[in-house]
Every structure is written in C-alpha cells, then in structure tokens.
C-alpha cells in the first residue's frame, strides 16, 4: 500500500518507537498525526509533516477527536500504528507485599485496552475511505513485546497486557477483513527507547550482550523500518512479527 498522500495516526508518537515511526511515515509523504500526552508533546521534535495531537489512548472521546482530525485532513486515513504503552515492574509477591491491583489494571488499561480503543475507532474511519486494489482500505499495526512470550520476573502486568495484544491480532484481522483493513503486530525485543534511558551504561551493555545477534539493543528506527515494510506488503495480515535478534528472555 502506498503511503504518500495518505493520513497516518501514530500513538505514543512524540518519542521512542512512535516518534521514529511518525518521522519515517512523514519522510514517505504521509500526513502524520502523532498522539501523545501533553508533557511528551512539549518535548517532541518538530518535524515537517507531523502534527502532534494531545490524547489519552484510553479515553474514547479524545481518541475519537484525534481520529476525526486525521480523517478530516484532506487525505484518506490509511495507516494506524499503536505504540503508546508503559512498562512498570512489580512481582506478584515481594517484600513490599502483594502486587497492587490498581497498577496491574493501569498497565492493562493503557497497553491493551488503549490499543483496542484506538484500533476500533480508527477502523471505523478507515472503513469509510474509498477502496484501493483488492478492496484494500488500510492497515493497523499494534505493538506487543517479546514479554508476551517470555515475561520475566516482575513483568506479570506488562506481559499480560502484551499477551493480550498478541491474542487480539488474528481475530481483529478476521473481523476487519470485510472492510479491507489489515491488522498486524510487532513484538520488539530490547529497544533503545526512553524506557531504558535511566539505566546505567553497564546495565545496558549487559542487556545487549544477551542478544544472540546482533549483540546490541535495537534502534527505534529499525522498528519504524519494519512498520513501513508491513504497510507496504499487502499480503501480510493477522500476523505477529518478532523483532528481537532471536532473543529469548531468561527468568530475570
């Protein structure tokens, strides 16, 4: 599917995976609407072709407003990439007591429910566009994690939320097939994003050493490159693609 002269919506689009994807889409000629929270947008890089929209992915009204903005831009909304997410760590039982239920619910609400919220609202808008070849109308790419398969100690909430994203991929693709909308998921491994910005160089080197090949952290632009490849490949649908250097996470 061609990206030029279309509208694209990217959640978590002010930094990290979402920021890299928004820039890559804009470089390909898309009108990009990058959704994020206000604090993140204030520090975001200003790039031609990217419009930042303040929105909480868990809020249906805010997402609807953002989708309406993208769909009303004058270019057909064809691409959605869900990158918004959080990854706090907590064990089920620790010296501090049991896992906080509110924290578990918050992680699932943002990572899984937020993804579903954006997917459903955006799909409704994409379904109204004129069909292309093979009656295609667009593609939605979600973000899971290798933690969906190899969740580590302290990742019970994060792994649950990302496992849910993996699980919704195929049924969502089947649900939206009649509308000409493909649904795909990327499951990244260890990526050099703001989530890792606070750890020491020594710790980062240790993480990189555990990757079979290449022995380094992935870059956000490599996620963006993969997203563009999935958009371009019209026969890929209902699939989860791991981007992890063949890493399989140890328990800790």
Does a structural domain hold residue 252? no
pLDDT of 121 higher than 80 = yes
Number of domains, the chain: 1
Output the pLDDT for position 229: 98
DSSP 15: S
- Which one of 52, 104, 149, 158 is the catalytic residue? 158
Instruction: Give 18-76 pLDDT, tens digit per residue.
Output: 999 999 999 999 999 999 999 999 999 999 999 999 999 999 999 999 999 999 999 99
DSSP 43: T
Output the pLDDT for position 198: 63
Buried b (16+ CB within 10 A) or exposed e, 134-152: eebbbbbbbbbbbbbbbbe
Domain that includes residue 195, residue range: 7-243
Output the pLDDT for position 199: 64
Does a structural domain hold residue 195? yes
Does a structural domain hold residue 250? no
Does a structural domain hold residue 1? no
pTM reported for the whole predicted model: 0.95
Percentage, residues of the chain above pLDDT 70:
98
pLDDT of 197 higher than 80 = no
Does a structural domain hold residue 251? no
pLDDT level of residue 202 (50, 70, 90 thresholds): confident
223 is catalytic: no
Does a structural domain hold residue 14? yes
pLDDT of 204 higher than 90 = no
pLDDT of 186 higher than 80 = yes
CATH of the domain at 72: 3.40.50.720
Cα–Cα distance for residue pair 241/185, rounded to 1 Å:
6
Instruction: Give 66-110 pLDDT, tens digit per residue.
Output: 999 999 999 999 999 999 999 999 999 999 999 999 999 999 999
By CB neighbour count within 10 A (0-12 exposed, 13-18 middle, 19+ buried), where does 220 fall?
A: buried
pLDDT of 157 higher than 90 = yes
Does a structural domain hold residue 248? no
Does a structural domain hold residue 2? no
Query: What's the rounded mean pLDDT across residues 11-23?
Result: 97
């Amino acid at each position: 599917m061609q990206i030029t002269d279309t509208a694209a919506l990217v959640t978590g689009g002010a930094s990290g995976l979402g920021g890299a994807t928004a820039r890559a889409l804009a470089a390909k000629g898309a009108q990009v609407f990058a959704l994020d929270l206000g604090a993140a947008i204030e520090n975001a890089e200003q790039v031609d072709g990217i419009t930042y929209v303040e929105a909480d992915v868990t809020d249906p009204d805010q997402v609807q407003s953002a989708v309406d903005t993208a769909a009303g831009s004058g270019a057909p909304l064809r691409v959605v990439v869900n990158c918004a997410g959080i990854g706090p760590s907590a064990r089920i039982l620790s010296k501090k007591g049991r896992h906080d239920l509110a924290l578990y619910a918050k992680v699932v609400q943002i990572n899984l429910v937020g993804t579903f919220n954006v997917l459903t609202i955006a799909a409704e808008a994409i379904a109204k566009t004129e069909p292309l070849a093979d009656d295609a109308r667009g593609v939605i790419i979600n973000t899971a994690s290798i933690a969906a398969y190899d969740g580590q100690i302290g990742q019970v909430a994060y792994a649950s939320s990302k496992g849910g994203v993996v699980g919704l991929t195929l049924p969502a693709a089947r649900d939206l097939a009649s509308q000409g909308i493909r649904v795909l998921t990327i499951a990244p491994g260890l990526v050099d994003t703001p989530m890792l910005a606070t750890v020491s160089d020594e710790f980062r080197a240790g993480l990189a050493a555990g990757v079979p090949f290449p022995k380094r952290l992935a870059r956000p632009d490599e996620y963006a490159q993969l997203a563009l490849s999935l958009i371009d490949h019209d026969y890929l649908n209902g699939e989860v693609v791991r981007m992890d250097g063949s890493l399989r996470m140890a328990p800790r």
